[in-house]
Amino acid sequence: MKKPLIGISCNAERHLIAGINPRLYHTLSDKYVNGIIKAGGIPVLIPNGLDHDSLKELADDLDGFLFSGGCDVDPNCYGKEKDGTVGDIWPIRDETELFLLKHVLEETEKPVFGICRGLQIMNVALGGTLFVDLENAGKKRHSLIDNPRGDFSHEIIVEDGTRLKGILKEETRVNSFHHQAIEQLGKGLVATAYSVDDRVIEAIEMPGERYILAVQWHPEELTDYEAYQRLFDEFLIQANKTKAA
């Protein structure tokens, strides 16, 4: 059987060329790519800005979808206003991911995996909201950007009986590089993990056989630990099942 094709969303970043001529780049950490390759899939980078018909065609051809981390989700997407805490936002990325997510979730049975921003955009696509900034909402600081990305930052509580618990087993340590997080859950989603100190939602999934799961931390930076590589492995197992169906 051919290996599953896994679409991975890309970040959008603006860089200067020779100090001038700003250009928008599609960017993606190789950690996402390597996690999919190690699990037995073929990564396919999804460009921002495709028209809806092209995104539908791409959704037909791919076997699973990984929505990656990156820039902030524009608060306008979930009914709030941008304030001074919001970092870079790229409407072209929000538009691409929101349409693709809704289409894949509603019109296919293919697996979906979200990481950091990927969790947030999944929640927004299903009608949920975010805290624009956790510290302003009275939560602890989760944007530990000075920490090495492969170091653990804090612990989580994982709900028993969830898909996530079956994957992580006894592992409860995570890394943390976000200042936004879920406020109100989107339709059909359940929270499956929380930060220990301030009960920030750290993972969501959709009950059922289909792999629809997202985490607020960055497991792609932790794949040397078996528990975190299993998130990619289980995602690919489901992609293989869908491909074979």
Annotated catalytic residue within 77, 97, 116, 221: 116
Catalytic residue, from 97, 205, 220, 234: name it: 220
95 an active-site residue? no
Residue with tokens 């950007």: 145
Residue 18 contacts residue 29 (beta carbons within 8 Å): no
116 is catalytic: yes
- Find the Cα–Cα–Cα–Cα dihedral 26, 32, 36, 39, rounded to 10°: 170
Residue 178 annotated among the catalytic residues of the structure: no
Radius of gyration of the chain (CA): 17
Q: What are the residue numbers of the active site?
A: 116, 218, 220
